[in-house]
Amino acid sequence: MQAFDLSQKVSVITGAGSGIGKSIAEVFSRHGSKVYILDVDEKSAREAEQQIRQADGDATFIRCNVASQAAVKDVMQRIFDESKRIDILVNNAGVAHIGNVETTSEEDMDRIYNINIKGVYNCLHACIPYMKQHGGGVILNLASVASVVAVADRFAYSMSKGAVLTMTLSVAKDYLGDNIRCNSIAPGRVHTPFVDGFLKKNYPGKEEEMFEKLSRTQPIGRMGKPEEIAKLALFLCSDEAGFITGCNYPIDGGFISLNS
């Protein structure tokens, strides 16, 4: 049996159409899990589904807006009806925002709350009963370095990721007796399509220069790779991590510990 074996396990990964979520889906699939890709971007999610299937993996895309509790409940019910179990939930879907408290509008705040906080709550609320019914499971939430240290001009985003961290601790405590483990990962800056799009939109003609500048904000001298985050996710969601719950794992090129 290979290390970090996820065969016979069903994983639900939100925001898995691109970036970190896509890498998690690919890595989990390679280790034997059936993966459900939940995303609102149908084009990228269909491509992720196809790529996993072409690599002989088992992937199914379901369009889902995590901000809608009714939609999430319907999707989780469908997955459980099809697979008879949900073993792993990865709450990865989220959106970014740049601004301080003065420049953050009410609309900005509501959007961040609805996706980054309520979206996680909706998935936890809908999924945990199925895990309990089947005898346990593993939950992994994507937090951020902004959960635990100050990052300039990230008021709403830091608020949302701080909530993700504390929801992780609460769920881990409440479901110890149900054999449900819950942990979080706190990435630093990771090179995803979002970063490329941000640079193209805000620094046209200076993308390469700004990419290098952003990379140097990580003490290790570069951005993280999505597959590096995915490999930590694989460990935490595998049976090898069976003694780990209620923990937050920075994966940040030294950002937290070496910038303080």
Q: How far apart are CA 227 and CA 106, in angstroms?
A: 35
Q: Which among 36, 157, 175, 249 is annotated as catalytic?
A: 157
Place of tokens 């370095």: 145
Residues 6+ apart with CB under 8 A from 195: 189, 211, 214, 223
The answer to whether 59 and 53 are in contact (CB under 8 A) is yes
Residue 99 bridge partners (DSSP): 154
Let me know if 95 is exposed, middle or buried by CB neighbors in 10 A (0-12, 13-18, 19+): middle
Known active-site residue 157: yes
- Measured in degrees and rounded to the nearest 5, phi and psi for residue 4 equal 60, 45
Nearest to 232 by CA among 27, 30, 29: 27
**DSSP codes joined into one string, 64-124:** --TT-HHHHHHHHHHHHHHHS---EEEE-------B-TTT--HHHHHHHIIIIIHHHHHHH
Query: In this structure, what token pair is assigned to residue 250?
Result: 């920075």
**DSSP codes joined into one string, 200-217:** HHHSTT-HHHHHHHHHTT
Q: How far apart are CA 41 and CA 111, in angstroms?
A: 17
Residue 61 bridge partners (DSSP): 37
Residues 6+ apart with CB under 8 A from 144: 157, 158, 161, 164, 186, 187
The catalytic residue positions are: 157
